[in-house]
Amino acid sequence: TTYANLLGFDASKFSADLQEEQFFEKNYDLRGVDSKVKLVFLGRLTPDKGWEFTLNAFLRVLQEVNSDQIALIIVGDGPMRDEIATRLSKLTPNSYFLGRVPPENVPALLVNSDIHITASEKETRGLTILEAFAAGIPVLAPEAGGVVENIQDGWNGFLFTPQNQEDFCDKLKVLIDNPALRQEMGRNGRKCVSQYGWDERVQNLISIWENQISKKTH
């Protein structure tokens, strides 16, 4: 029997107390960003993270959404950085590359963002998705890989049909246009992430070991 016991993380670091007025202007010198709907991408800038799809999908998104309404915050680095920057700059003036951010700065960054987006279809569970939930923001992700175990479509985020730009665009637009829905989904995300704390994971491991030992002794 194979047991999945996801490594835990400290959800308490992603406290709502980290919310700060003009966070991106004060901490990253990004002016005018804080008043927009902030879409955050967190991870390596590599082909396996779905960037080709994301770039093509945003061409569609920005035909339906005012580009001044949203800011794309891209956290991470990788071989696709220059290509992503060049192509996004042709679509919107409001895309920002923060490069690699120290792990201790990620909680505040997520807490002060509005929507976490990933187009990767190969995530096992996706630690960044759990971190977004802990930060109280909804996630938009493809219905593929292990993320489907964490995202309850319409409850703590949206799942879109993989490689379907129309579905991606429609669901992102719903999130952009509905701050109350984002807040509700964010609260739900915080509820579901409580099971991934270190204490809960250790207790889960102990239960698995005890179960295995009892099977061997009977």
Give the number of other Cβ atoms within 10 Å of residue 156's Cβ: 24
C-alpha atoms less than 13 angstroms from C-alpha of 82 in its C-beta half-sphere: 1
Domain containing residue 146: 11-217
Q: What is the pLDDT of residue 12?
A: 86
- Asked if residue 156 is part of any domain, the answer here is yes
Number of domains in the chain: 1
Q: What is the CATH number of the domain that holds 116?
A: 3.40.50.2000
Q: What is the pLDDT of residue 195?
A: 65
- Asked if residue 5 is part of any domain, the answer here is no
- Asked if residue 210 is part of any domain, the answer here is yes
- Asked if residue 50 is part of any domain, the answer here is yes
Q: What is the pLDDT of residue 4?
A: 40
What is the pTM (predicted TM-score) of this model? Answer: 0.86
Q: What is the pLDDT of residue 33?
A: 97
Per-residue model confidence as pLDDT tens for the chain (218 residues): 333 445 556 888 998 899 999 999 999 999 999 999 999 999 999 999 999 999 999 999 999 999 999 999 999 999 999 999 999 999 999 999 999 999 999 999 999 999 999 998 877 667 889 999 999 999 999 999 878 888 999 999 999 999 999 999 999 999 999 999 999 999 999 988 876 654 555 555 565 566 667 666 65
- Asked if residue 46 is part of any domain, the answer here is yes
- Asked if residue 6 is part of any domain, the answer here is no
Residues 78-110 as b/e (b if ≥16 CB within 10 A, e otherwise) read eebbeebeebbeebbebbbbbeeeeeeebbbbb
Q: What is the pLDDT of residue 210?
A: 63
- Asked if residue 57 is part of any domain, the answer here is yes
Sign of the C-alpha dihedral computed for residues 145, 171, 113 and 193 taken in this order: negative
- Asked if residue 1 is part of any domain, the answer here is no
